[in-house]
Amino acid sequence: MKEELMGKLTNEIEARKGELLELLSKLVAFPTVSPPARNTNGVQEFIKGYLEELGFTTDKWDVYPGDPNVVGILHGQSSDQFNSLIINGHVDVAEVGDAKEWSSSPFEAYLKDAHIYGRGVADMKAGIAASLFAIKLLKELGVTFQGDLQFQSVIGEEVGEAGTQACVERGYRGDYALVVDTSDLHIQGQGGVITGWIIVESKETFHDGIRRKIIHAGGGVKGASAIEKMMKVISGLQELERHWAVTKNYEGFPHGTNTINPAVIEGGRHAAFIADRCALWVTVHFYPNEDYEAVIKEIEQHINAVAAADPWLRDNPPQFIWGGKSMIVDRGEIFPSLEIDPEHPATKLLTTSFEKMVGQEPVVGMSTTVTDAGWLGRAGIPTAIFGPGKLEDAHAVNEKLEIQQLLDFTKVIAVFIAEWCNTKRGENQHEIF
């Protein structure tokens, strides 16, 4: 039966690729660009309706006004005994830039030279379309599920608004999760990213005319420029960054991938005053085996030690503001890291499904970018990133996706869903195929 099902799925997906491409084109037609965001209600209503037609019970709620999440659950026949699965994808897409640079409208998908073009085809509406289509085919072929199948269509990933975090906070869980984001069909984990503000602020404000009393012998005024003191903080960050590069590493990443980037600096109030405040916006990359809270603690301890060695900073210590739930609202974001377990039964099943349906071994490794997958992993849900599309095409002008890769992904995820949701929970050995 399993060989027969794989054959039927292959034939159906190849024969009905036009239907799949039409579904993807419909998703692309929704201009869900973020920023400015607050524009996903239409596409989420479409996905909600699609899920309900397939028998899912749905939950739709606003994460931000005009930007709702949709979660659908197809309840299994023996949910208490069989594995559940989360399929997760984000509906927001990157900015278009100058539309005149595009060969056609970014939101009117078209086919050319074995590719489909349009904003979001690689990042990541293809993963959503293919997953929905795979579920539809399984239902049409009479495949039933013993475990629960959950579909999370989320908002905000492009600007760190973490719709996936909102799903976790709402209590959604599963035995395994696939984030069907851009991975070139590689099975991946990821490092993490957190942004933060380091603020140096004086208790007093001084006129520019008394600078000589602050910097020269005998001046008698204990003051300082917050901008100049921030230079010491930046130097301290560079020392810690070099220390990390020497002492930390993770397989699959080039040495020194863990960086502290001083991205934006804001300071001073007017040329007639000594700067009484300076804020530094940093972006920190860390490895999959590190948690952002531990990384924050390490940075703060180091910078506080730098401040303790400076007479003025000792009395005016740096302040820290980390993360945030939105780059738009908070000017901050968090992408937790994700370690992938190649020996987890679901990861092994995904690998086997790929081998059977594509005819070659998949690449199992690490993503060089970040996705929402870390939020699921941090919630204790074993998770992998696996989706169609190449990173060089994501966010690009004339964004494109190879159609055959879309078809291959659909075949793999269809078989994986059918097998995982019909495997008893806790079984480590599976006669899968």
Strand partners of residue 267: 278
Q: What is the b/e burial string over 238-260, where b = at least 16 CB atoms within 10 angstroms of the residue's CB?
A: eebbeebeeebebebbeeebbeb
In the numeric block, the tokens 């085996």 are attached to: 289
User: Tokens for 281?
Assistant: 């916006």
Instruction: Read off the DSSP letter of residue 372.
Output: T
User: Tokens for 425?
Assistant: 């929970």
Q: Exposed, middle or buried: residue 98 (CB in 10 Å: 0-12, 13-18, 19+)?
A: exposed
Q: Which residues are catalytic?
A: 92, 157
Amino acid at 184: D
User: Tokens for 337?
Assistant: 């890291």
With beta carbons less than 8 A apart as the criterion, state whether 116 and 28 touch: no
With beta carbons less than 8 A apart as the criterion, state whether 167 and 129 touch: no
Q: How far is CA 104 from CA 108, 110, 112, 402, in A?
A: 7, 8, 12, 18
Q: CA-to-CA distance for 381 and 21, rounded, in angstroms?
A: 31
Q: What is the DSSP string of 120-148?
A: TIIIIIHHHHHHHHHHHHHHHTT---SS-
Q: Is the dihedral of CA 56, 62, 63, 66 positive or negative?
A: positive
From the CB of residue 153, how many other CB atoms can be counted at a distance below 10 Å? Answer: 29
Q: What is the b/e burial string over 339-370, where b = at least 16 CB atoms within 10 angstroms of the residue's CB?
A: bbeeebbbbbbbbbbbebbbeeebebbbbebb
